[in-house]
Structure 1
Amino acid sequence: MRPSSALNNLRWWFTLLLVLPLLAQAQDPLPSWKDGPSRKSIEAFVAAVTTEGGKDFVPEAERIAVFDNDGTLWSEQPMYFEVLFAMDEVRRLAPQHPEWKEQQPFKAVLEGDHKALAESGTEGMMKIIGATHTGMSTDEFIALSRSWLAKSVHPRSQKPYTEMIFQPMRELLAFLRVNGFKTYIVSGGEVAFMRAFAEEVYGVPPEQVIGTNFASQFQDKDGKLSIQRLPKLLHNDDGPGKPVSIDTIIGRRPILAFGNSDGDLQMLQWTMAGEGKRFAGLVHHTDATREWAYDRESKIGRLDKALDAAKAGNWTVVDMAGEWSRVYPFEHN
C-alpha cells in the first residue's frame, strides 16, 4: 500500500472513532438516563401508547403529559428558588417600606432570622409572595423575574438557577414531544414566574404552564393597556389544586404525570385513575453528592405519602443517584 493511501486510511479510521460516539448519542434520546428500571418503564410506556394498531394506542390529541416543576424539573434546595427571589425582592423594596423593619415576616427576612421566618409558616410566606409578586402588571413582573434569574446564582453551585435544571428530565420532555405528546408544567409555583423561563429552558410555551395565580384586572391608563396583578390569591396550584387546574385549563386527563413530593400526589392519582394505559413517575432525591438526598422528613419537597402510594400502585420511582448518569446540564457524563 502506498504511504499516501495508508495515511488516508488512518485518517478515515481516526475520523470514524471521533464520529461514532457522537452518532450514538444523537440516536439516544435519553443519554443521561442509565439503562435501569425507570428508563425501561418510560420507553415501554411510550412505545405502547404510540404504536398504531396496538391495544394501548392513544391518539396524539390525548397524549397529555404533566410535570411538577420544583424538585421535578429543577432543584428545590436549600429553598424553593421562587422564595429566594421573593426574599431578594423584600430586601430590594425595603427602603420603600420602612414599616417592614417591625413587621413579620418581613422583619425576619431583613434580619436573616431563619427561625422566625420558619415560624411564620405558609401564612407568612404568602404575605411575602403577595407583597413581591403583585401591585404591577404581568409584563413588569415577568421582566423583574427574568432580571433576577439573569444575575442571581445558586448559593451552593454558584450557577444560574436556570442551569440547576435536571438534564434527564429535559431530555424526557423532548423525547415525549417527539412522540406526539403535549407537555405541560403543573406546579405550585406562581405561574408568571415560571413563564419567565419555562420556554427557554424546558421548551414548554407559556400557554402550557399552569401554576398558582393571583387575581388580575385589565387596566386602560391613558391609553396604556395592561393586566394588573392584584394582592389576592386566586388559586393555590398545589396538592388537590393540581387536578382542578388540569380539569379547568387542559380539559383532558393526562396519561403521564411526573412529580417528586406529596404536593404532587393528587395529580398522580388523578392521572392514574383514568382508563387505558397510564404512567405515574416520581423523582426520588437520593443523590447527596451531586444534588441532595431527602424524602419523608424534609421540610422542602417532602416525599412521604406519595412514596407509599407509588409502592402500592407500582408507579415508577426514579433513583436519582443510581439511574441518572448526569444531573445538571453543566455536568459531563
Structure 2
Amino acid sequence: MHGAPELMAALPSWNDGAAKSAILDFVARVTKEGGPDFVPPAERIAAFDNDGTLWCEYPLQVQVFFALAEVKRLCQQDPSLLQKPAFKAFVEGDLKALTSLPKKDVFEPAFATHAGMTLEEFHANAWRWIRQAEHPKLGRRFITNAYVPQRELLDHLRANGFRTWIVTGGGIEFVRVVAEQLYGIPPEQVVGSSTKMKLEDSGDGMVVRKLPELDSFDDRDEKVVNIALHIGRRPIFAFGNSDGDLAMIRYTLGGAGPRMGWYIHHDDAAREFAYDRDFKLSVFKEGLDRAGEYGIGIVSMKNDWGRVFADDGNGHA
C-alpha cells in the first residue's frame, strides 16, 4: 500500500499481505473524488453472506442448532413431520444424516420452528436462545463466534461511505435478531430466506404472524433475485464462502466500473475449522476451483487473518 498511517492502521486483525492490500487499495480508489475509479456514495453497496462469512457455520449453521432445540416440540404436535428425513434426523439428533441432505431440506425444519409466532415472539425466543446457547465444538456461546476481521472490514467500508448488507441463506428474521449488535448492520439491511406471513388484528393491535410455508430460500441464484428486489442496486463489493454465494459474487463483478469479490476459505483447523468441497451444507467447490477464472479473490483464514474471534489474541501472524 501507499504507507499512509490511516491505511496502515485499518483492518488490524488482518495480516499484511495481498488480500488486505487489495481491499484497502480498492476502497481508496473508489472513494477518491476526481479519480478515475470514483464511485458515488449512493452506489457503494457491499453485500456479505452471513453463515461461514461473518460467523462460524460448522458443523451446522447456527439457525440449525436453534432448530434442534425447537423441532421436537413441533413433531409432538404433528407426528407426520417425522416422515420427512430432515425432521426425523433433527429429532434423533442424527448430525450425519443432516449433513448428507440438501441445504434447503435441512433448513425447512428451521423455518418451521417460526410458524404461528408473531415477529415479536419469534425475535424474543431466538434472542433468549442465542445469548446463552453454546457451540458444541468450540465450547463458547454462538454469539461470540463472529469473525473479528470481518467486523473490521464492515466498519472500514462504512467509514468510507459504503452501505453494508447481509444477503444470507439463513432466515431473515433470525439474522435480524443479531445483525446490528454483531455487525453494525441494521435489520432493514438484512436479506435472507423467509416464510410467508399474515397480518392479524389481535384485539390489542395489528401483528404479523409467521406461517409454516417457505416463501423464498435465499441461496444461489435467488440471492441475486433478492438483491434486485430488496436492494435495488448491483453491489460493487461482495464477500461469501461457498458455492451458494457464487451467483451473488459474479453478479457483483459483472457490472460496469470498479468491482471486487471475495471468498473466505476455511483452512484453519487450529483456530476454527478446515472444510470446503465436502461440506454439503455449504459446499465450496466450483467457487474454489474457478475463482481465478471468475476474478474472485480468496482470503485464507489461516494466513490472512491475525485472529479469528475476539478472544483469540493476536498471536497468529
For normalisation by structure 2, the TM-score amounts to 0.91
Determine helix, strand or coil for the equivalent of 1:300. Answer: helix
Amino acid of the structure 2 residue aligned with 1:170: R
Deviations 1:130-172 (A, max 9, x none): 4312211111111111011012011122211111111100000
Question: Which of these residues, 105, 126, 144, is aligned with residue 163 of structure 1?
Answer: 144
Specify the SS of the correspondent of 1:48: helix
Which residue of the partner structure matches residue 280 of structure 1? 261
Does residue 235 of structure 1 match 2:216?
Answer: yes
Partner amino acid, structure 2, of 1:284: H
Q: Which runs of 5+ in 2 are unaligned?
A: none
**Residue 90 of structure 2 is aligned to residue 109 of structure 1:** yes
Q: 1:314 to 1:156 in 2, by over 3 A?
A: same
- What is the Cα-based RMSD across aligned positions, in Å? 2.1
1:8: which partner in 2? none
- TM superposition shift of 1:125: 2.4
2:99–2:280 Cα contact (<8 Å) kept: no
CA drift at 1:310: 1.5
* Residue 310 (str. 1) matches residue 291 (str. 2): yes
Contact 2:102 2:280 in 1 (8 A): no
Q: 1:135 to 1:208 in 2, by over 3 A?
A: same
**Structure-2 change in CA distance of 1:85 and 1:297 (3 Å):** same
What secondary structure, in the 3-state scheme, does the structure 2 residue paired with 1:213 have?
A: strand
Q: Assess, with a 3 A threshold, how the Cα gap between structure 1 residues 56 and 101 changes in structure 2: closer, same or farther.
A: closer
Q: Distance in 2 between matches of 1:148 and 1:26?
A: 39
Find the residue that maps to 2:130 and give its secondary structure: helix
Moved more, 199-208 or 93-102: 93-102
State the match for 1:21 in structure 2. none
* Paired AA for residue 245 in structure 2: D
Corresponding residue number in structure 1 for 2:18: 37
Instruction: Give % identity.
Output: 45
Q: Of the two, which has the highest radius of gyration? A: 1
Preserved contact between residue 77 and residue 300 of structure 1 (Cα < 8 Å): no
Contact 2:7 2:24 in 1 (8 A): no
Superposition deviation, residue 224 in structure 1: 2.9
C-alpha distance in 2 between matches for 1:59 and 1:122: 37
Aligned residue in 2 for 1:74: 55
Residue 207 of structure 1 pairs with residue 191 of structure 2: no
Number of residue equivalences? 310
Q: Distance in 1 between matches of 2:217 and 2:301?
A: 28
Determine if contact 2:66/2:110 at 8 Å carries over to the other structure: no
Distance in 2 of aligned mates of 1:110 and 1:282: 34
Other-structure match for 1:196: 177
Of 196, 209, 222, 2:203 maps to: 222
